[in-house]
Amino acid sequence: MAVTQYEFDPSYGYTLETLLNVSAPKEPKDFDAFWEQRYQRALKIDANPQTKLISENTSGWQVLGIRYTSTDNFIIRGWLLLPASGVIKRGFVVGHGYGGCDGPELKFPFKDAAILFLCFRGLALSAHPEISSEPYWHVLHNIDEKDKYILGGCVEDVWLGVSALLSLFPFLSGHIGYMGISFSGGIGALALAWDDRISKGHLNVPTFGNQVLRLRLQTHGSAYSVQQYYLSHKKQTIKVLRYYDAAIAAKRIKMPVHFACAQFDPCVAPPGQFAICNSVGSEKQLYTLEAGHHDYPNKHHQDVDLMQQLEVFFASLIGE
């Protein structure tokens, strides 16, 4: 992969073999207690989902706007896709990258599913006047307080998204999957570690893996913002980020997970991506991408191949 357009090598000198040996860093002793308490609090909240029809039939989907209540009374908005015809047999909660989300993905092959596309707090449809929607600043929101850091709220937005889906379709219990890419890939790893209502997950070029290593590897994107902040707030930053390490969380994941991890990525360093995948002890599959956050000649072929794998991987979500 050519690196001439970057001032650093987005493969960081790692081979596939060395990437497969990156592990999670040392974890805080109260990591489990910190997250379990948050999860139990989230489960007690009434998501109170409300929907409004946008389109009766767009590419075979009914498209609805949806809003639901997350933690701290935060209103999360997004879209809900339902089959324009046929029976709903499974459900998905789908996150987005730090580029935001301006609409639902209509090309998923899961035509028998209810698919909730959420916009995380402070971003896209869930914008808030007190939270910057710019990735550079969003990722720093309350980074000095482990109980208030924005990433924790975003994890809770996923949990309440599952609650919203189950509130609307109780029969989907045991038949829900999660899909997240980049930002929502890392958030997804943190969410999957505790939520057994999710039966299968897919994490595509996930971020927030091995935060200690992530702070040292030159990068673009939101990680660069965190690195710049870290330079003048080292002790407090690493103290907080240890609780938001997707690789540490991944060690707690119990459901099957499908990964798409890149060997070359200027925004989400590959060693961090692979640290998350490597830490999962449950059933897992890995699809190795040539690159992430970067265009390349084989990208379309890999995208098609990946979607075919996901169609097979999530087939078992279908209820009787």
pLDDT, residue 99, reads 82
Q: Is residue 7 situated within a structural domain?
A: no
The alpha helices in 169-298, defined as continuous H runs, are 183-192, 211-214, 222-230, 234-241, 246-250, 270-279
pLDDT, residue 319, reads 61
- Residue 37, domain extent: 16-314
Q: Is residue 182 situated within a structural domain?
A: yes
**Distance of alpha carbon 113 from alpha carbon 125, whole angstroms:** 23
- The answer to whether the CB of 193 falls within 8 A of the CB of 252 is yes
**Distance of alpha carbon 158 from alpha carbon 135, whole angstroms:** 19
Domain count, the chain: 1
Q: Is residue 10 situated within a structural domain?
A: no
pLDDT, residue 3, reads 60
Neighbours of 199 (CB within 10 A): 19
Whole-model pTM: value is 0.97
Give every CB contact of residue 206 below 8 A, 6+ residues apart in sequence.
180, 181, 182, 185, 186, 188, 189, 246, 259, 261, 268, 273, 276
**Distance of alpha carbon 59 from alpha carbon 83, whole angstroms:** 10
Q: Is residue 4 situated within a structural domain?
A: no
- The alpha-carbon radius of gyration of the chain (Å, integer) is 19
CATH of the domain at 127: 3.40.50.1820
Sheet holding 113-118, edge to edge: 50-58, 61-69, 75-83, 113-118, 90-94, 176-181, 200-204, 257-262, 284-289
Neighbours of 173 (CB within 10 A): 14
HSE, side-chain direction, 13 A CA sphere, residue 171:
9
Q: Is residue 274 situated within a structural domain?
A: yes
pLDDT, residue 101, reads 85
One digit per residue, the tens of pLDDT, for the chain of length 320 reads 656 689 999 999 999 999 999 999 999 999 999 999 999 999 999 999 999 999 999 899 999 999 999 999 999 999 999 999 989 999 999 999 998 888 999 989 999 999 999 999 999 999 999 999 999 999 999 999 999 999 999 999 999 999 999 999 999 999 999 999 999 999 999 999 999 999 999 999 999 999 999 999 999 999 999 999 999 999 999 999 999 999 999 999 999 999 999 999 999 999 999 999 999 999 999 999 999 999 999 999 999 999 999 999 999 999 65
How far is CA 223 from each of CA 173, 233, 263, rounded to the nearest angstrom? 36, 15, 17
**Distance of alpha carbon 205 from alpha carbon 257, whole angstroms:** 13
147: DSSP letter: T
Q: Is residue 319 situated within a structural domain?
A: no
Q: Is residue 287 situated within a structural domain?
A: yes
The alpha helices in 58-146, defined as continuous H runs, are 135-138
